[in-house]
Structure 1
C-alpha cells in the first residue's frame, strides 16, 4: 500500500487527507515534469513570446488571486534583476476592484495569468478588463487545467497563449500545493531557466520528504496558536503563502501572519507570545542576510516565542548556493508539511478543511460588474 508523508494511504483517506499529502509529496517530480513539458514547447512559446519581449516599453504583469498572486510576488524581484524592471506583481483581486489604478492604456502589456483552475471569477475578469483598458495587450496563461475558462479562451484568441502543466499538478485537494510550486517552475523555465539550480532545489526537497520528515513532524506537534513567517524580497511572497497554508489547513485554528524581517519590528512583533512559532526564511543575498541574522538573534534572545526556526541552505542541506526564488521551493515545501500535520494532528480534514462551505476550492459568490469608460474616467 502506498504512503505519503509517512502515512499509509488508507489512513489518509480515512482522515480526508489523501490528496493533500500526495500532492505535497509529488512536488519534486512535478517540477521536473513541468520543466520537460516547457522545454518540449519552447519553440512554440518563443515564437509567440520573443517579439513581445523585444518591445522596449513592454510591461509584464504577473497576476493571480490568493495563492496564485503570490507566484508573481515571489518571481518579480528576481526576474527584474536581469530584465530592467519590466515585471510587476499585481493580484487579480486588485485589478478587478481598481482597474483604472493598475492598467495603462498606452503601454504595451503582457499579462501572465496564473490559475490552478483557470476559472476563478477574478482571473477571467482581469483578462477581459485588460483587453478593454489597454490598447495593445497580450496574455500568457499558465494553468493546470486544460478545461478552465482561460485555457479555452486562449485557444480561440490571437493575443493569448496557454501553457497547461502536467495533469497531476491540478491539485484535487482544497489547498494549492503542487500547482503553486509548479507554476513557479514553469515561469522560471520560460523567463530565466537554470537546470543546475532546479536540480539543487529538487535534491533538497527530496531530502525534506525523506530523512528530514521526522524533524518537520516534531515541529508540527508543538502546541501552537500563532505562526509567523518572515521573508525579504521575493521570499515575502513565500511567507504570505506559508501563512495562508497554515490558516487554510487548520481552518483558522492556528492564526498566521507574515512580514519582512525588518518590517516585523515596526509593531507586528507585538503578537509574539509563548504560543507563537516563528519561521524566518534566509536570503541568499549576503547583504540582506545581515538583517535577517540580526532579527533571528534578537528573537532567540527575547526568549518569548515557543520556537524560532531559521531556514537556510545549511538547515535544508541545499548542496550549492542558489537564488532565493529557487530556495523558495524547499522553503514552501517545509511549511506545507508543517501545515498538513498541524491540520492532520488537530483533527481537521486537510482535503476539505472547511466542509461547511464558507471557503471553496474555486472561489464562489463573486459578482463581476461591468466597467463603463468615460472620457474623464478611463484607464490611464
Structure 2
C-alpha cells in the first residue's frame, strides 16, 4: 500500500467514517489542553510509592487499559493492572484489595454502562483508600456526574466531537487512551503531533484499505505483542461488531499464536501483524510474518509497521513519523487502520456501520445487566 491520496468521506460510511477521520484533529485538541487541577490531583497521588493503578472499562474501554498498562508500568515503576469492569463487578474480591491504596482509572465513552458505575462503587466499598480518575466523553453521562465534585475523584471530559454517535467506539477510544498516556505518562504534546501526522497518513490510505476489505475473506486474525496485543484484541472486536458477527475474528500474540490458536488459519484468512517498535520484540514479529507468509502467501498477511521490514519478508504498510515511539503510542495510529478495515469490511457485507444491529441484538450502551449487591465478605 503506497497510496496517500485523501479520499472524501463516503456517504455509506455514515457518521462512523467521519468519526474515524476526525481523530488527528481530536488528538491535537487533547494535547493542547492544560489541566492544572489534574496535574495537582495526580501528582500528589503518584508520590505515594504504595499506590496501585487499576485501568478499567468494558469492551473497547477495557482494551484501552490493556494497551496503556505496560507503558504505565515502565513509566511509573509501580503496579499497574488492566482489569475490565465486567471482571471487577462479577468477581470484586478477586481484583480489589482492601489494604492497597488504589487509583481506579475508568475509561467510559458515555459512562452509562451499568458496570461502569458498579465498579467504582465496589472500589469505594472494598478498598480502604481509593481515588478515581474518570475519562469520559459525555458530560451528561452517569459516571461523570457521580464523580464530579468529589474530593477523591477527578473527571476529565474529552473534546465534544469525540462522543461518537456511531455504534463502535473510534475517536472516543483513542482520545481517552491518549489522555491517559498524557496524564500518567509517557506521552508529551510533541508525541501527539507525531501521532496525528501518522494518522493523517492512514486517512490517506482509505482506497487501499477498502481494496483489502474487498478481498472478502471470512476470517481475520490480529497479532501483536505487549501493548499491541491489546490493540489486536480491539481490532478483532471492531471488525466483529461492525460486521454484526458475519466475519470471524481472532487475536493473539505472535508467540502465543503457535500454541494451538494457529489452527484457525485456512485459505480464507487474512492475518494482520502489528510490528513492535521495540527492537527485541520486533524480532519475534518478523519471525511470525516469515512463517505465515510462507504458509498462506504474501497477500494473506498484512503487516503494519513504523519502519520498513526486511525486503525478503515482503511488503508492509509503513506508517511514517512513529519511529522511536513506544508501542502504547503507536497503537493509536495503528488503530485508525484497524477502524477503517472494520468499516470497509462491514460495507462489503452490506452492513450499516452506524447501526449494524438494527433489531437491537447488541446495543451501543449495554442494557439488561442486573447489578447485584454484595452480601458481606467485603
State the TM bucket, normalised to the shorter chain. over 0.9
Tell me by how many angstroms 1:29 deviates: 0.6
1:259 maps to which residue? 252
Query: Root-mean-square deviation (CA), in Å?
Result: 1.4
2:117 maps to which residue? 124
Return 5+ residue gaps in structure 1 as ranges: none
Contact kept, 8 Å, 1:115 with 1:144, in 2: the verdict is yes
Q: TM-score, normalised by structure 1?
A: 0.92
Comparing 77-86 with 127-136, greater Cα deviation is found at: 77-86
Structure 2 residue 106 is the aligned partner of structure 1 residue 113: yes
Q: Write the distance in 1 (CA, Å) between the matches of 2:151 and 2:345.
A: 46
Q: For the structure 1 residues 316 and 54, does the alpha-carbon distance in structure 2 shift closer, same or farther, using more than 3 Å as the test?
A: same
Comparing 296-305 with 52-61, greater Cα deviation is found at: 296-305
Tell me by how many angstroms 1:306 deviates: 6.2
2:348 maps to which residue? 345
1:204 maps to which residue? 198
Tell me by how many angstroms 1:199 deviates: 2.1
1:100 maps to which residue? 93
Structure 2 residue 21 is the aligned partner of structure 1 residue 25: yes
1:174 maps to which residue? 167
2:129 maps to which residue? 136
Counterparts of 1:24-43 in structure 2, within 5 Å, are 24-37=20-33, 39=34, 41=35, 43=36
Comparing 152-161 with 235-244, greater Cα deviation is found at: 152-161
Q: Write the distance in 2 (CA, Å) between the matches of 1:8 and 1:334.
A: 15
1:86 maps to which residue? 79
Q: TM-score, normalised by structure 2?
A: 0.93
Contact kept, 8 Å, 1:282 with 1:289, in 2: the verdict is yes
Q: Write the distance in 2 (CA, Å) between the matches of 1:245 and 1:302.
A: 26
Tell me by how many angstroms 1:316 deviates: 2.8
Contact kept, 8 Å, 1:59 with 1:110, in 2: the verdict is yes
Structure 2 residue 280 is the aligned partner of structure 1 residue 287: yes
**Runs of 4+ deviating beyond 3 Å:** 5-9
Comparing 81-90 with 324-333, greater Cα deviation is found at: 81-90
Return 5+ residue gaps in structure 2 as ranges: 1-5, 308-316
Tell me by how many angstroms 1:84 deviates: 1.7
Tell me by how many angstroms 1:346 deviates: 1.6
SS of residue matched to 1:82: helix
1:307 maps to which residue? 300
Q: Write the distance in 2 (CA, Å) between the matches of 1:243 and 1:109.
A: 31
Question: Which of 314, 319, 331 is the aligned partner of 1:317?
Answer: 319
